[in-house]
Structure 1
Amino acid sequence: MILSVENIRFAYNSHPVLDGVTFAVEKGNLLAILGVNGAGKSTLLKCLNRVLRPQGGSVLLGGNNLLRLPQDAIARRIGYVPQQHSQTRLTVYEAVLLGRRPHMGMTVSKADYTVVEETLQRMGLSDLALRPVSDLSGGEVQKVMLARAMAQSPKILLLDEPTSNLDLKNQIEVMGLIRSVVDRQGLMAVVAIHDLNLALRFADLFLFIRNHRVHGIATKNTVDAAMIEQVYGLEVTMTEVAGQQVVVPV
């Protein structure tokens, strides 16, 4: 299955933010959206699941244009983890159960409870199930939000800066968890992220946005310093450390 994004256009009050954004992601791939602050990374994610309605373009999955589907139908296909999370006194179990809402009838079914319990176990959150989300650390909260998105049984994960405000250990754990979910369950993920080195470590594809448009799309084998310099306006070099490509400002 392929997610095909074609010619997405969006503007705030006639101020263009995205202009003709086109790309595709296949099942089992993690795509990182990269660009300077204000480039439109978060806006693009919100356009993909119609939190914001684009002024033009299409988002195709399995022959369906997601932008024409009802919101609950979109939520059965896309799990979205925003950058900001509202404070809640819900328990971890209750928060993850909310992810089942697009699939629920009038009541919660046995199948819904089973999905939640399996998701908690898979994400290593079973021991925290009865803890209030508001009592958790930043890294734990991010894992709960990812688990809630996974409980939707989506085909696509959209994640907006999933490592922001996390320490180095939690950044690696959260991105590793996303990578593992994509690989194990054959999902596709689109992640807006600032940290180039985290992106290089975990992503398969790199979508660079500059001046409201796609500046370039690269793989691990084709991403280079020149592309990064053009997008960020900063001279860099790329080297290998412990088998990992890293970007170093010059």
Structure 2
Amino acid sequence: MRRETSRLIRYAFVAAALGAAAIWFRTPLERMASAAVAPLARSGRWISGSIEEDEIGKLEARVASLSTDRAELELLRDENLRLRDRLAFQERTRFNAVQATIVLRDASRPTRRFVLDRGADDGVAPGAAVVAGNGQYVGKVVGVTAATATVAEATAPGEKTATTLLNLTRTIGLSEGDGSSLLTMRFIPHDQAIAVNDLVVTSGLEDHVPAGLVVGVVNAVTDDPTSPFQDAVVEPIVDLRRETSLAILVD
């Protein structure tokens, strides 16, 4: 019995020794395997990250391209609408319309002048009316070269335009610019009724400027009892900041 117990103890000791040896030899192998696999795992994560960044870059480039395409389509649509308006206007006037593009603007704005890419070679002469859209009055040509025309906006300082107020009596007056964004229609008798939002158009009393071009709308009335006339403050119908091409009316 004692010998049997001793044998079992020896077997247990040997088994424990073998188990310890197995653990001793397996641990370095596991460490070696882990060390070998770790760079691959990191490389896999780097490759995955690179692929994701590459895909994101492609998507961003695609979005930018689509945005550019959309902007171009919007601009083409706007230009198409303007051209259709001008064609409709030209069909109902005796004047020929020379299409022109704004090539230079006055950065300081107080002079309210700009340059178009059409000139004497295209039949443009000083005094010619310049319009936007479906016949909205912008101003007059004040200087020409063979290939360009300088235009003074209706709101330019000292610029005068013969106009008609579309009230009940079709009052005639003279609209003058002062360099601001507004005009003042002067020489309106006190007995003439003026209302805010009345339309103001060209009267046709100037050479090269036909009647009926829309200049703007009345946004205020100044009535001084001590003056023989009342004035109407007129807001132009055209916002030139939004325009890139216009039409010059030639005989």
| TM above 0.5 | no
Q: Pick the structure with greater CA Rg.
A: 2
Question: What TM-score do you get using the length of structure 1 for normalisation?
Answer: 0.23
Question: What TM-score do you get using the length of structure 2 for normalisation?
Answer: 0.23
